[in-house]
Amino acid sequence: MSQTMKRAYKYRCYPTREQAELLLRTFGCVRYVWNRALAERSRRYKDGSKNTTYTDTAKWLTQWKTEEDSAFLREVSNVPLQQALRAQQQAFATFFAKRARYPRFKSKKKSRKSATFQNNAFTFRDGELKPAKTSEPLPVRMHRPLPEGAAPSSVTVSQDGAGRWFVSMLVEETITPLPSTGAAVGADAGLTHLVTLSTGEKITNPRHERADRRRLAKAQKAMAHKAKGSANRARARTRVARIHARITDRRRDHLHKVTTRMVRENQAIAIEDLAVRNMLKNRSLARAVSDAAWRGFRGMLEYKTRWYGRELLLVDRWYPSSRLCSTQGCGHKNTKMPLNVRTWRCPSCQTVHDRDVSAALNILAAGLAER
């Protein structure tokens, strides 16, 4: 059954010098409004004052625009500033619901630079995007078209640490589920191989960070030798960011290809509910776990299975998938299974198991049993 949902389409853009200056000012104003509102909210929170609402913060914004020290807020579109306050309201709601940490202040150097324009603050006609306060359309490289008849409800313009500009357009799209396949697969995440499937297939872990580790270390060393606050250090920081961006882009591309194929070929996919955050506390494994990007792998499977009418089965993280014999009718459980043991023979049925394939088979069986 088809379903209508909101979906973001992200494109590279190449603003002119004037547009870039305006957008950078907008980013700065968004950061200023966020930080000033957060400081006032925190003060009221500590003083035990009544709850702060978005309406309260919107009134503060109106007042700040009349003050001489913050009159620069009038130079940019008001909509991204209001959106920053709405985002902060949502962040506090999530915090009070105990689903996230207390909202933090935005840093000029480390925080993401972005501004969100609602549909009353931009025009989009014939593939041309013109944000408020700009005199000409923003040059956007539309490498793929928006869905036919779709119009963006909001647009987010951002710049990453490598200096690249992006536009993300949020549209409503009708997504049709894929035809049913009836197949089910279990997936065991690993480090030697990114994923081992219950079919016996082992998907390579490209280790993108390790491949560029020497190049990254050289760039970071060069940056460390530059004087803090200098233009040379800023350029060196951009070079480091470009290497990080290359690693991230390649990793994301690989994960998209793997997860899309799994969703297309299988009706049900079973994976372990891993606590990746806890694994990152292990100094011996943290770097390799981060490079494998298990959290991103699971996140992609979650939304793709939801979009295309598939089923994602989560198996308890404490399930001993690697220690169980996967032979039907056996079920022997080993007391220990060190990481260096890659194949083992079941003492009960004498079957020789590949550790990862056996674990994937057990994950599939456990996932199907919990349906």
Tokens linked to 74: 């009038």
Active-site option among 173, 209, 291, 356: 356
356 is catalytic: yes
Q: C-alpha distances in angstroms, 80 versus 116, 142, 165, 329? A: 5, 23, 17, 61
Tell me if residue 203 falls in helix, strand or coil: strand
Kindly name the residue from 272, 273, 316, 370 that is annotated as catalytic.
272
Given the residues 173, 188, 209, 291, select the one marked as catalytic.
188
State the DSSP H helix or E strand holding residue 337, giving kind and residue range, or none if neither: none
Contact indicator for 334, 344 with CB cutoff of 8 Å:
yes
Compute the distance between CA of residue 129 and CA of residue 151 in angstroms, rounded to an integer.
11
The SS3 of residue 138 is strand
Would you state the structure tokens that stand for residue 104, as one six-digit string?
């933090």
Contacts 24+ apart (CB under 8 A), 289-292: 289/191, 290/209, 291/205, 291/207, 291/208, 291/209, 291/210, 291/251, 292/189, 292/190, 292/191, 292/194, 292/205
Catalytic residues: 188, 272, 356
